[in-house]
Amino acid sequence: RKKCLLCNNLLMIVAASIMGCSKIAQSFEMILIGRFMCGISAGKCTGLCAPLHHQYVGEISPRKLRGFANSTSSFFWSLGKAIGQISGQRELLGSQSLWPMLMASCGLPALVQLVTLPFFPESPPYLLMHKGDEEGYKKAIRQLWGEGHHQAEIDDIMKEKATMKNTKILSVLELMKEQAFRWQLYMIVILTATVQLCGINAV
């Protein structure tokens, strides 16, 4: 989980650097490439950031804070849009000379996360269920939640591990071929494709 987030931040920094240098290089193609890379990294529907954020933050949070932690992504989406719109005013970074800095500013949050994330442990459920690293799992629990009593969270993870033993993990291709999931898949694709039309961005 953590490695994916770090790689995703590197992608965003590269995208920000390309867009920031577009004026010097006199290349509008660099803006297109940078925006495309931003979409892969942090796009609301197709980006890597949203599912990775939910997965990592949800897994490292204690059970009583999990709902609150998962709701932070919506808050930061809205905050980012507001900051972007304010920064884009002509009086700030929206001027003819400063717009490359505005384009490159998306790399700043990625840089902050790239510097701070290595000090956080890997997700405890990932360490236990996928890596089988019980010692690393206990160390991550202690680092994240302190030395207190966390038996309820540990029991949840152990139950999930027991459930996963009897669950077949499908690849993307197998999922697309599976008849039982066909209608669910259609619904997800339609909802994702049309979410931009629902007015949420205006709200």
**pLDDT one-digit tens code per residue, 65-100:** 878 887 777 788 788 888 888 988 988 988 888 999
Q: What is the mean pLDDT of residues 4-23?
A: 91
Indicate the pLDDT class of residue 45, thresholds 50, 70 and 90.
low
Query: What confidence score (pLDDT) does residue 16 get?
Result: 93
Query: What confidence score (pLDDT) does residue 116 get?
Result: 92
Query: What confidence score (pLDDT) does residue 17 get?
Result: 93
d(CA 67, CA 58): 8
Under DSSP, the state recorded for 122 is P
Q: Which tens digit of pLDDT belongs to each residue from 101-121?
A: 999 998 998 999 999 988 988
Q: Which tens digit of pLDDT belongs to each residue from 140-196?
A: 888 887 777 767 777 777 777 777 776 777 777 888 888 888 888 888 888 877 876
What residue segments make up the domains of the chain, in order of their start?
A: 1-120, 168-202
Exposed, middle or buried by CB within 10 Å (0-12, 13-18, 19+), for 177? exposed
Q: Which of 45, 36, 46, 49 is nearest to 7 (CA)?
A: 49
For residue 55 the two structure tokens come to 């997965």
The pTM of the full predicted model, rounded to 2 decimals, is 0.73
Length of the chain: 203
User: Largest alpha-carbon pair distance within the chain?
Assistant: 60
d(CA 189, CA 181): 12
For residue 69 the two structure tokens come to 């932690």
